[in-house]
Each structure stands twice: as structure tokens, then as C-alpha cells.
């Protein structure tokens, strides 16, 4: 089973709203990732959690706040977003193996629209 689930599938929010994106995997993976992707562009890395600790934060604005409650769950809390934050948000997980053999599996994504 290589399934990563994400909810919600679509989200429309105003600039003053607070919302959260949720990601879940039950593959025993120890690394989880958040990406932001604009249309026709590659995914841009936002955050990486390794063994439930934040290991990479790619200078993401503080209006995005990640949380890893346990090894299977990853949340992205959104607050005071801007219209330019509208994008596809992808979650991924991997086993966290060294040597370049780690394979990343992605969820279906959340399409976020900020009005």
C-alpha cells in the first residue's frame, strides 16, 4: 500500500480565515513533506519533517505553520493568506533511507483558492 491521503480536496478561503490542511500515511514512513505547486511548474518544497521533527523550512512565510502530531499525520495551518498563495498543496512521504534510494509518494493534493 503506497497511499497518502489529503483532506480537503478543495478549499476556498478568505484572507482573514484560518484553515488547516491534513495529510495522513500508514506506510510507516518517517519523513513527510509539504510542497506548493503552481500550474505547469514543478513542486516547490516548503517543509520536511524527519522522525516527527522539522528538518527543513524553506523560508516559508509565517502565515503557513506546519505541525506533525505523530509519525502518520502532517498538518498545515493556514492564516491570513494572500491571493498569491492559491496553488495545489501536495503532501508526500518517504521511508527516510540514505543513499538516494528513498522513494517519495505523494497524496492527491489540496487545491487552495484564496479570495
Partner 1 sequence: AQKITQTQPGMFVQEKEAVTLDCTYDTSDQSYGLFWYKQPSSGEMIFLIYQGSYDEQNATEGRYSLNFQKARKSANLVISASQLGDSAMYFCAMRPYTGNQFYFGTGTSLTVIP
CA atoms 104, 48, 53, 71: torsion sign: negative
Pick the binder of partner 1 from 41, 61, 113, 115 (CB under 8 A): 41
Bridge partners of 25, per DSSP, are: 4
Pick the binder of partner 1 from 43, 74, 85, 114 (CB under 8 A): 43
Pick the binder of partner 1 from 13, 45, 60, 73 (CB under 8 A): 45
Tell me: does residue 100 bind partner 1 (CB under 8 A): yes
Q: Are 71 and 60 in contact (CB under 8 A)?
A: no
**In terms of CB distance, is 16 or 98 closer to partner 1?**
98
Residue among 85, 70, 68 at smallest CA distance from 17: 85
Bridge partners of 49, per DSSP, are: 32, 54
**In terms of CB distance, is 18 or 102 closer to partner 1?**
102
Tell me: does residue 52 bind partner 1 (CB under 8 A): no
Pick the binder of partner 1 from 7, 38, 102, 115 (CB under 8 A): 102
83 DSSP assignment: G
Tell me: does residue 69 bind partner 1 (CB under 8 A): no
Amino acid at each position: 500500500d503506497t497511499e497518502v491521503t489529503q483532506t480537503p480536496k478543495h478549499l476556498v478561503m478568505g484572507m482573514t480565515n484560518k484553515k488547516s490542511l491534513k495529510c495522513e500515511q500508514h506506510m510507516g514512513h518517517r519523513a513527510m513533506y509539504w510542497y506548493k505547486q503552481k500550474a505547469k511548474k514543478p513542486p516547490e518544497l516548503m517543509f520536511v519533517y524527519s522522525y516527527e521533527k522539522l528538518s527543513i523550512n524553506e523560508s516559508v512565510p509565517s502565515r503557513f505553520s506546519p505541525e506533525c502530531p505523530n509519525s502518520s499525520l502532517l498538518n498545515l495551518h493556514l492564516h491570513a493568506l494572500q491571493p498569491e498563495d492559491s496553488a495545489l498543496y501536495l503532501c508526500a512521504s518517504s521511508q527516510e533511507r540514505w543513499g538516494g534510494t528513498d522513494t517519495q509518494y505523494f497524496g492527491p493534493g489540496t487545491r487552495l483558492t484564496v479570495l
